[in-house]
Amino acid sequence: MEPEKPSFFSTRYIKFLGGRNTFFTLIMLLLIGVVVMVYEKISFVFIPLTVFLGNVILPIILAVIAYYLLRPILRLIEKINIPRVWGILIIFLALIGLITLLVFLVFPFLKAQSIRLVDELPNYLIQLLNSLDTFLRTSFVADYYLQIENDVMDLLKNVPTEISKLFQSTVASIASGITSIVGAVTSFILSIVMVPFILFYLLKDGEKLPQYIMKLFPPRMRDDLHSVFKNIDKQISSYIQGQILVSMCIGFMIYIGFTIIGMDYALLLGVIAMVTSVVPYLGPVIAITPAAIIALVTPHFMLIKLAIVWTVVQLVEGKFISPQIMGKSLHIHPITIIFVLITSGSLFGVPGVILGIPGYAILKVIVSHFYTLFKKRYNRYESNIEKHYEYTNNKVD
Phi, psi at 274, each rounded to 5°: -65, -45
Q: How confident is the model at residue 307 (pLDDT cuts 50, 70, 90)?
A: confident
What's the helix, strand, coil split of the chain in %, to 5?
85, 0, 15
Number of alpha carbons in the 13 Å side-chain half-sphere of residue 52: 5
- When comparing pLDDT for 387 and 93, which is higher? 93
Q: How confident is the model at residue 6 (pLDDT cuts 50, 70, 90)?
A: low
| Whole-number pLDDT of residue 134 | 74
- When comparing pLDDT for 369 and 156, which is higher? 369
List the one residue out of 66, 29, 373 whose CA is nearest residue 237.
66
| Whole-number pLDDT of residue 46 | 72
Using H for helix, E for strand and C for coil, what is the string for 199-251?
HHHHHHHHHHHHHHHHCCCCHHHHHHHHHHHHHHHHHHHHHHHHHHHHHHHHH
Residue 237 · residue 68 · CB < 8 Å: yes
The span from the CA of 239 to the CA of 342, in Å, is 19
- Write out the DSSP string of 287-331: HHHHHHHHHHT-TTTHHHHHHHHHHHHHHHIIIIIHHHHTTTSS-
Residue 255 · residue 385 · CB < 8 Å: no
The answer for residues whose C-beta is within 8 angstroms of residue 211's C-beta and 6 or more apart is none
Mean pLDDT computed over 275-301: 79
pLDDT at 187 over 80: no
Report the range of poorest mean pLDDT among 30-34, 126-130, 159-163. 159-163
Report the range of poorest mean pLDDT among 10-19, 133-142, 299-308. 10-19
Report the range of poorest mean pLDDT among 250-254, 261-265, 312-316, 373-377. 373-377
| Whole-number pLDDT of residue 326 | 61
Q: How confident is the model at residue 13 (pLDDT cuts 50, 70, 90)?
A: low
* DSSP secondary structure letter of residue 10: G
**Which tens digits make up the pLDDT trace of 222-246?**
788 888 888 888 888 888 888 888 8
The span from the CA of 279 to the CA of 238, in Å, is 15
The span from the CA of 138 to the CA of 152, in Å, is 19
Highest mean pLDDT among 19-28, 148-157, 196-205, 353-362: 196-205
The span from the CA of 309 to the CA of 4, in Å, is 78
The span from the CA of 333 to the CA of 329, in Å, is 12
Report the range of poorest mean pLDDT among 204-208, 325-329, 373-377. 325-329
pLDDT at 327 over 70: no
Extents of the domains making up the chain: 217-374
